[in-house]
A and B are shown apart, each in its own frame.
Chain A
Amino acid sequence: MEVDKGKGEAEETRKVAEADRDTVTLKSSDGKLFEVSKEAAARLSTVLAGMIAGGSIDDNGTDLKQIGSEALENVVDYCNKHANSIPSAALISSSISFNTAPFKEPEEWERKFVDRLSHDALFDLVEAANFLGMERLLDVTCHKISEMMKGKSPDQIREVFNIKNDYTKEELEEIRQELAWAFYDD
Chain B
Amino acid sequence: MPSSSPPRIRRRPKKTVRLSLKAFQSWQPPSGRDIDWASELPMDLILHVFHLLDPVELLRGGAMGACRSWRRATRDEPMLWRHLDMRGYDDPCRRSHVPFLVFLQAAVRRSQGQVEAFWADYCDDDVLLFLAEHSCCHVIREYQLKSLRLIRCGYFTNKGLLASMMKFPHLEELELSACNNIYGQEVFSAIAISCPRLKHLRNIKSFRYEYETEDDDSEAIAIASMCELYSLELHNHHPTNKTLMTILDSCTQLELLILRDCPKLRMDDTLLAKCARVKIVTLRGDDYVHCKITRYRFRPWSSACNPLRAVRESHWDDLAHLVDGFFPEDIEDYIDYSRYLNGVYVTDLDDDEDSRMLVKSMRRYLKINTGV
* Chain A interface residues (CB < 8 Å from chain B): 89-90, 92, 94, 96-99, 101-103, 118-120, 123, 126-127, 130, 138-139, 142-143, 145-146, 149-154, 156-158, 161-167, 171, 175, 178-179, 181-186
Complex Cα spacing A149 to B29, Å: 19
Q: What residues on B are CB-neighbors of A92 within 8 Å?
A: 321
B residues 75-90 in Cβ contact with A at 8 Å? 83, 85
Q: What residues on A are CB-neighbors of B102 within 8 Å?
A: 181
Stretch at the interface among B17-25, B66-74, B134-142, B302-310: B66-74
Stretch at the interface among B55-63, B260-268, B343-351: B55-63
Q: A101-B83, A157-B63, A165-B67 are in contact. Are A143 and B98 (CB under 8 A)?
A: no
Complex Cα spacing A17 to B278, Å: 51
Q: Is A154 a contact of B48 with CB atoms below 8 Å?
A: no
Q: Is B83 a contact of A146 with CB atoms below 8 Å?
A: no
With CB as the reference atom, state the residue of chain A lying closest to B202.
A98
> In the complex, how many angstroms separate the beta carbon of B225 from the nearest chain A beta carbon?
21
With beta carbons under 8 angstroms apart, the residue of A119, A166, A171 that contacts B32 is A119
In the assembled complex, B36 has its CB within 8 A of some CB on chain A: yes
Q: Is A162 a contact of B65 with CB atoms below 8 Å?
A: no
Q: Is B96 a contact of A186 with CB atoms below 8 Å?
A: yes
Q: Is A98 a contact of B200 with CB atoms below 8 Å?
A: yes
Q: What residues on B are CB-neighbors of A101 within 8 Å?
A: 83, 85
Complex Cα spacing A152 to B173, Å: 34
With CB as the reference atom, state the residue of chain A lying closest to B96.
A183
Q: A126-B41, A142-B45, A182-B61 are in contact. Are A94 and B67 (CB under 8 A)?
A: no
For the complex of A and B, the 5 pairs showing the least CB-CB separation, nearest first, are: A154-B65, A89-B321, A161-B37, A146-B52, A179-B61
The interface size of chain B toward A, counting residues with CB under 8 Å, comes to 61
Number of A-B contacts (CB under 8 A): 153
Among A97, A101, A138, max chain B CB count under 10 A is at A97
With beta carbons under 8 angstroms apart, the residue of A97, A123, A157, A158 that contacts B256 is A97
Q: Is B62 a contact of A152 with CB atoms below 8 Å?
A: yes
In the assembled complex, B53 has its CB within 8 A of some CB on chain A: yes
Q: What residues on A are CB-neighbors of B65 within 8 Å?
A: 153-154, 157, 175, 179
* Chain B interface residues (CB < 8 Å from chain A): 29-30, 32-42, 44-45, 48-53, 57, 59-68, 70-71, 83, 85, 92, 95-96, 98, 102-103, 106, 117, 147, 149, 173, 175, 200, 202, 230-231, 255-256, 279-280, 317-318, 320-322
Q: What residues on B are CB-neighbors of A186 within 8 Å?
A: 95-96
With CB as the reference atom, state the residue of chain B lying closest to A164.
B36
Among A89, A145, A152, A179, max chain B CB count under 10 A is at A145
Q: What residues on B are CB-neighbors of A103 within 8 Å?
A: 51-52
Q: What residues on B are CB-neighbors of A89 within 8 Å?
A: 317, 320-321
> In the complex, how many angstroms separate the beta carbon of A81 from the nearest chain B beta carbon?
21
Q: A97-B200, A98-B200 are in contact. Are A143 and B52 (CB under 8 A)?
A: yes
Complex Cα spacing A101 to B195, Å: 22
With beta carbons under 8 angstroms apart, the residue of B50, B57, B61, B83 that contacts A102 is B83
Q: What residues on B are CB-neighbors of A99 within 8 Å?
A: 117, 147, 173
Complex Cα spacing A99 to B32, Å: 41
With beta carbons under 8 angstroms apart, the residue of B41, B53, B231 that contacts A123 is B41
> In the complex, how many angstroms separate the beta carbon of A91 from the nearest chain B beta carbon?
9
Instruction: Give 14 CB contacts A-B under 8 Å.
Output: A89-B317, A98-B231, A101-B83, A119-B35, A120-B32, A126-B45, A127-B42, A145-B49, A149-B57, A149-B63, A162-B34, A162-B37, A163-B70, A182-B59
With CB as the reference atom, state the residue of chain B lying closest to A149.
B63
With CB as the reference atom, state the residue of chain B lying closest to A179.
B61
With beta carbons under 8 angstroms apart, the residue of B53, B61, B106 that contacts A146 is B53
Q: A143-B52, A175-B71, A183-B92 are in contact. Are A98 and B175 (CB under 8 A)?
A: yes
Q: What residues on B are CB-neighbors of A146 within 8 Å?
A: 49-50, 52-53, 57
Q: A96-B279, A149-B53, A149-B63 are in contact. Are A142 and B48 (CB under 8 A)?
A: yes
Q: Is A142 a contact of B37 with CB atoms below 8 Å?
A: no
Complex Cα spacing A151 to B106, Å: 18
Q: What residues on A are CB-neighbors of B149 within 8 Å?
A: 98
Q: What residues on B are CB-neighbors of A138 within 8 Å?
A: 45, 48
Q: A98-B200, A153-B62 are in contact. Are A182 and B49 (CB under 8 A)?
A: no
Q: What residues on B are CB-neighbors of A156 within 8 Å?
A: 62
With CB as the reference atom, state the residue of chain B lying closest to A91.
B321
Q: Is B60 a contact of A161 with CB atoms below 8 Å?
A: no
Among A89, A163, A166, max chain B CB count under 10 A is at A163
> In the complex, how many angstroms separate the beta carbon of A152 from the nearest chain B beta carbon?
5
> In the complex, how many angstroms separate the beta carbon of B144 from the nearest chain A beta carbon?
15
Q: What residues on A are CB-neighbors of B318 within 8 Å?
A: 94
Q: What residues on B are CB-neighbors of A119 within 8 Å?
A: 32, 35
With beta carbons under 8 angstroms apart, the residue of B36, B40, B66, B147 that contacts A157 is B66
With beta carbons under 8 angstroms apart, the residue of A120, A123, A166, A184 that contacts B67 is A166
Q: Is A97 a contact of B35 with CB atoms below 8 Å?
A: no
